[in-house]
Structure 1
Amino acid sequence: MTPNTRPRLLIFTDLDGTLLDHETYDYAPAQPMLRRLAGDGVPVILASSKTAAEIAVWQERLGLTRWPAIVENGAAIFEGALDDGPYRRLCAAIRATGAPFRGFSDMSVDEVRTVTGLSEADAILARKRGFSEPGLWQGSEADLAAFLSALQAQGISGRRGGRFLTLSYGGTKAGRMAELIARFSPDLTVALGDAPNDAEMIAAADRGIVIRNDHGPGLPPLPGEDEGRILRTQASGPEGWREGLERVLASLPAG
């Protein structure tokens, strides 16, 4: 973007459980705020565990196609086609451990639908991955620690989200967020999320919004909450998303 179109705000948001309802994927309560932000030219960057194929659909539905997105829990920034070579190598390394981890590549489309609640079309998109493998850990916590340690030696890290353990060759939402902040040079950044894998992104923003999560571990107290830099919503999902942004926008000076 050119200097004279520099956004005053730059918003980063998780999808599942944050902008989208955890169970129904509805986003109707957030639409008035999305329209307001679009009218003001505020970039809304989706930052999700979803794949580029999934994100492209949600960008279209939400009216966010003009902005880049952070995909697969920070494994990449989506602005075009992605190579699935890293994903194939990742899955091979995971399977070589013999550990009781069942990833999306091990599941049929129907299984992915069952564990995610997605439609068949969306489940197909969820399996078109480029850099990361979400899945279900089916062993003990002790075995999980050994599993993650073995993968770490190969440069593979694991992060827990609202539903899944996601394995990748690195990259975080916060790291990609920093890249986009450097590109857009906003005056103020806002980040919204509901799960542990959103904590770094929320803490890295000028203003953070923790969306109420009644379906998972949620987020522990974060640095900045006592000072009011980070707030928590009373409502969950898209209602909480709208609530949080209304509170942040109301606190900003006019102009």
Structure 2
Amino acid sequence: MTLPLLVFSDLDGTLLDHHSYDWSPAKPALDRVRALGGGVVLASSKTGAEIAVLRDEMGLADWPAIVENGAGLLEPGDSPDAGGDYGKLRETLDALPMALRGYFRGFGDMSATEIADVTGLPDDAARRAGARAFSEPGLWSGDAEARAAFCDMLEKQGVTARMGGRFLTLSYGRTKADAMAELVARFAPRHTIALGDAPNDVEMLEAADQGILIPNPDAPDIGPLIGEATGAIRRAPEPGPVGWNLALGQAIDDLKISSGGPADG
């Protein structure tokens, strides 16, 4: 049977409230996707250890999750373990000239208490956030010119730097959109919807049948996107899970998504 709908969603500032990390206002739309026989793939800069807990809480344990901005996948039933390219990534970062390296304070430079302070996470969740396998989020304290030089030097070493809602995240280039394409090829859904709030979500929004940009007053402003002119990308009316719930429900209505048949009327 054809999967009617596969939803790809960012977490912080999108499905999770930017400040409280609450997702409960989105439960009606989550339940609606489930009732249609569709699936929801969480796609975040968070680690596998962080996402595993949230995925279970949301009742999404039967679906893969995209972790660390697309650098890895957490399959159903998998135990998230540290590993991957993180050690190599840190070595590359630490080899940069201190004049640039000093502006970037990554999670690997912070204690769990410091991670809790900069994220607002409780201590146990902050420890999971520090269990990196593929990527390094951090805070940038330099100006735009220094950041451009920093990113250029990393790019020559095969490392990309992408700005999310609050952190600059380093990885070896695989994006949320890359991981999304892999899962779309695997599941062949009839429709895809993607939701996100930050620059590192734009490629994922553009790749979906319907992209939904969630407003985030605490994140950098995102200017007009190409898909907005055709309606392929729309902006949610409210931030966080409230906007997520409203916009996803409207998209399901507009796409006339149902659980039966190859055509949706």
Q: Is the 8 A contact 1:135 1:166 kept in 2?
A: yes
Aligned to 2:39: 43
Aligned to 1:24: 20
Matched, 1:84 2:83: yes
Aligned counterpart for 2:245 among listed residues 242, 245, 249: 242
Q: Deviations along 1:63-104, whole A, 9 cap, x unmatched?
A: 110000111011111113455141011111111112121100
Matched, 1:75 2:63: no
Aligned to 1:183: 186
Q: Is the 8 A contact 1:199 1:219 kept in 2?
A: no
User: 1:139, CA displacement in angstroms?
Assistant: 1.8
SS in 2 for 1:92: helix
Segments of 4+ moved more than 4 angstroms: none
Aligned to 2:261: none
Aligned sequence identity (%): 52
Matched ranges for 1:85-100 at <5 A: 85-97=84-96, 98=98, 99-100=101-102
User: 1:140, CA displacement in angstroms?
Assistant: 2.3
User: 1:211, CA displacement in angstroms?
Assistant: 0.7
Q: Is the 8 A contact 1:30 1:238 kept in 2?
A: yes
Distance 2:159 2:140 in 1: 16
Distance 1:151 1:254 in 2: 43
Matched ranges for 1:198-217 at <5 A: 198-217=201-220
Any unmatched runs of 5+ in structure 1?
none
TM-score (norm 2): 0.92
Q: Is the 8 A contact 2:40 2:60 kept in 1?
A: yes
Figure out how many residues of one structure are paired with residues of the other and give that number: 251
Q: Deviations along 1:21-53, whole A, 9 cap, x unmatched?
A: 000001111011111212222110000000001
Q: Is the 8 A contact 1:45 1:69 kept in 2?
A: yes
Aligned to 2:262: none
Distance 2:232 2:147 in 1: 34
The one-letter code matched in structure 1 to 2:67 is: V
Distance 1:115 1:14 in 2: 19
RMSD: 1.2
Any unmatched runs of 5+ in structure 2?
259-265
TM-score (norm 1): 0.95
Matched ranges for 1:140-159 at <5 A: 140-159=143-162
Aligned counterpart for 1:55 among listed residues 44, 51, 57: 51
Matched ranges for 1:102-113 at <5 A: 102-113=105-116
User: 1:164, CA displacement in angstroms?
Assistant: 0.3
Aligned counterpart for 1:171 among listed residues 153, 169, 174: 174
